[in-house]
Amino acid sequence: MKDIKNIRNIALFGHGKCGKTSLAEAMLFTAGKTKRLGKVDDGTSVMDFEPEEVNRNMTISSSFNNYSWKKNQTFIIDTPGDDNFINDAKFATRVADNAVFIVGAVLGVKYQTIKIAEYVKEAGLPTLICINKMDRERANFDKTIAEIKAQVPLEAAVCFLPIGSEENFKGVVDIIHGKAYAFDNSGKVKETEIPGDMADAIEAAREELMEQVAETDDDLIEKFLEEGELTSAELIEGLRNGLKAGKISPVIPCSATGNLGTELILNAINDLLCSPADRPAQVGTKPDSDDLVELKPSADAPFSALVFKTMADPYAGQLTILRVFSGSLSGDTFFNASKKQSEKFSQLFIMEGKEAVPVDDAGPGMIVAIAKLKDTFTGDSLCSQNNPVLFDALTPIEPVMSFAVTTSKKEDEDKLFASISKMLEEDPTLRLTRGLQTKEILLSGVGQMHLVILGEKIKRKYGVELELHVPKVPYKEAIKGKARVQGKHKKQSGGRGQFADSWIEMEPLPRGGGFEFADKIVGGAIPKQYIPAVEKGVVEAMEKGVIAGYPMIDVKVALVDGSFHAVDSSEMAFKISGSLAFKKAAQEANPVLLEPIMNVAIRIPKDCVGDVIGDLNSRRGKVMGMDSEIKGEIVTAQIPMAEILEYAPNLTSITGGRGTFSSEFSHYEELPNHISDKVIADSNKEE
């Protein structure tokens, strides 16, 4: 292991298509880790290697690599930026020491940029900002910087000004040292003349940078106010300290696909970003107590680590990815404080794209993998048995979209659900549940693309088709009126016959009243031993309702009269009699369909409130209230379940990806007649 002061641990963050993976490829190539510059668009990327990623030219799952640059060893996490897979980015903020935040110079700030930047800010990560794609048509450095300063919760400080843009992006000017550098496509830079027409821009940029750096430190602000100037050494030291405190984020322009300016980024990672030794101590608790445990990021401290990703492979088995916080992991065992048990392992690996390279030990800052662990999963805290520690649990993003899942071949059902179980271990944002009424198996995820790609993975890895269907709505039936009917069952077919005669009265209960059965038989009209059979017949008939096959709820049934036969009556006969009576009474008591209503909380920007409420009204929703928060508005509403099964993509469309929602069951309400007629017709057709 290297001295941990020479270790860097970084995660690449940014919105989808901003060039995170391309920058990782350029860094690996420039540092000599790879022999050719991998390209996302032509499928030669080292970091995006899953077929689903190659086919879509996008990162779906965090990938890992490392490189050496001027004495330092740097571990990279390349995270997804698409909303469907953003949970990996959220988890990466928990284990990375530093962030390299990428913003595209053409698209600028997107909503995902802000959302991921909030994760980074909340984690307090020292952050370097790269303005990428400076060589693209319509690239605009100044506009992108203005958007970052206005919308992103990071204090962007321009340290390099681009020389030219679009096809004329040829180099940069170092604001701190007053030097210009020209690019070549090897990723390296060489000193060149500062363009004469940039003098005013450089002076203004240096003045602004001095002011920003001075504001991060009381001594520097005092000197700046007195003298109006900071030296280059003071600027660098102030930047380093401000970065460490999360108060300032240096900005570097670059082009990842053109490999322009990559050397400057590698140098900035070495010179400005933090080693594990510079980061605060990790704080956890002792198992079964509230006692705090502080673990310094030192190789001499007791071992501790956090599992932040699990990868399932049908051939290699489960691959567990962990970040070492303190001490050293070696040998063949560790203690899993989350499971309160030791677990053996055979080999440690460093992940380099899809390759796993064996290593003997791992120290602070390192990201390593272990294969075929049986009881260790994402979120588990690992440590030494003599110094147990539990870190705060990783909280995954809640799923918002559910589909019923089946497979095209009945005989593949067991195989399908076994493979989904493997995926649940890999992806904590997935949920698998069973509809109690509909009996459907429901798979929930962050979005439709999330589940579609999951299906592709399952087919590739396990050879079984996953089919997604819009879930059935668990409608109910109820009655609005009263009825008194006779249910008579009489059957003669030679030998002993069947006879049972039940009179019942039926009336509705208040919503949520459930089911009540009253025995009002007097004078032994029906013997006591047969009365439970009548109730059983009623309950069984309620499960199928009378108008569309849905369960009936909120009714009171009273058994008021009847007759029996000394020989031909039996429990079975009275069960049938009770069922017949219920069906007849329900038909006469004005039966109606009920639909489930959901409580929904929708978080949206202020400028989207009108459009979202208009859309809710079109979905038969009722707005119950609105609350303001710093980032926008929370609209609370009640919406029929049938109207929100596919709400997630609509909300994304209305808000430009800036809206989120959560829902929970509230109550049942009567379905409007025009919709009820359609539901009944569809149900009868299906039957």
Whether 181 shows a pLDDT value over 70: the answer reads yes
Q: pLDDT digits over 48-79, tens only?
A: 888 888 888 899 999 999 999 999 999 999 99
User: Right CATH number for 476-589 from 3.40.50.1370, 3.40.80.10, 1.10.3720.10, 3.30.230.10?
Assistant: 3.30.230.10
Of the candidate ranges 77-91, 92-106, 615-629, 647-661, the one whose mean pLDDT is the lowest: 647-661
Segment 102-109 mean pLDDT: 94
Spatial separation of the C-alpha atoms in residues 681 and 165, rounded to whole Å: 63
Q: Please, are residues 442 and 405 in contact by the beta-carbon 8 Å criterion?
A: yes
Segment 364-371 mean pLDDT: 94
> In this structure, what is the dihedral angle of CA atoms 157, 122, 153, 628, given to the nearest 10 degrees?
-170
User: Right CATH number for 4-195+249-278 from 3.40.50.300, 2.60.200.20, 2.60.40.10, 3.30.230.10?
Assistant: 3.40.50.300
Tell me the HSE value of 78 on the side-chain side, using a 13 A CA sphere.
32
Residue 687 has a pLDDT of 65
Spatial separation of the C-alpha atoms in residues 84 and 93, rounded to whole Å: 17
From 302, 382, 373, 368, select the one nearest 344 (Cα to Cα): 373
- Look up residue 312 and give its DSSP letter: -
**Mean of all residue pLDDT scores within the chain:** 91
Phi, psi of 76 (to 5 degrees): -110, 135
Q: pLDDT digits over 521-580, tens only?
A: 888 899 999 999 999 999 999 999 899 989 999 999 999 999 988 888 889 999 999 999
Spatial separation of the C-alpha atoms in residues 591 and 583, rounded to whole Å: 11
Banded model confidence at residue 41, pLDDT cuts 50, 70, 90: confident
Q: What is the pTM of this model?
A: 0.85
Residue 497 has a pLDDT of 84
Token pair for 359: 């290593």
- Look up residue 108 and give its DSSP letter: B
Q: Please, are residues 172 and 163 in contact by the beta-carbon 8 Å criterion?
A: yes
From 506, 498, 563, 508, select the one nearest 538 (Cα to Cα): 506
Q: pLDDT digits over 244-266, tens only?
A: 999 999 999 999 999 999 999 99
Banded model confidence at residue 683, pLDDT cuts 50, 70, 90: confident
Q: Which of 293-302, 489-498, 630-639, 647-656 has the highest mean pLDDT?
A: 293-302
Whether 630 shows a pLDDT value over 90: the answer reads no
Whether 332 shows a pLDDT value over 60: the answer reads yes
From 210, 274, 286, select the one nearest 241 (Cα to Cα): 274
Whether 495 shows a pLDDT value over 70: the answer reads no
Banded model confidence at residue 494, pLDDT cuts 50, 70, 90: low
Segment 476-500 mean pLDDT: 87
Residue 95 has a pLDDT of 96
From 685, 683, 667, select the one nearest 547 (Cα to Cα): 683
Q: 260-298 burial, b for 16+ CB within 10 Å, e for fewer?
A: bbbbbbbebbbebbbbbbbbeebebbebeeeeebebbbb
Spatial separation of the C-alpha atoms in residues 174 and 172, rounded to whole Å: 6
Classify domain 282-383 at the CATH topology level: Elongation Factor Tu (Ef-tu); domain 3 (2.40.30)
Q: If DSSP codes are grouped into helix, strand and coil, which group holds residue 460?
A: helix
From 130, 105, 101, select the one nearest 113 (Cα to Cα): 101
Residue 663 has a pLDDT of 87
- Is CATH 3.40.50.300 the right assignment for the domain spanning 595-686? no
Helices (H) and strands (E) in the chain — how many of each?
A: 16, 34
Banded model confidence at residue 1, pLDDT cuts 50, 70, 90: low
> In this structure, what is the dihedral angle of CA atoms 385, 389, 392, 398, given to the nearest 10 degrees?
10
Regarding beta strands 98-104 and 7-13, do their DSSP bridges make them parallel or antiparallel, or are they unpaired?
Answer: parallel
Residue boundaries of the structural domains of the chain: 4-195+249-278, 282-383, 401-469, 476-589, 595-686
- For residue 83, what are the contacts with CB-CB under 8 A and spacing of at least 6? 16, 112, 115, 446, 447, 652, 657
Q: pLDDT digits over 441-452, tens only?
A: 999 998 889 999
Whether 431 shows a pLDDT value over 60: the answer reads yes
Whether 363 shows a pLDDT value over 80: the answer reads yes
- Is CATH 3.30.70.870 the right assignment for the domain spanning 401-469? yes
Give me the sign of the Cα torsion angle 197, 200, 205, 210: positive
Give me the sign of the Cα torsion angle 453, 78, 50, 253: positive
Residue 632 has a pLDDT of 82
Do the domains at 401-469 and 595-686 have one common CATH topology?
Answer: yes
Banded model confidence at residue 617, pLDDT cuts 50, 70, 90: very high
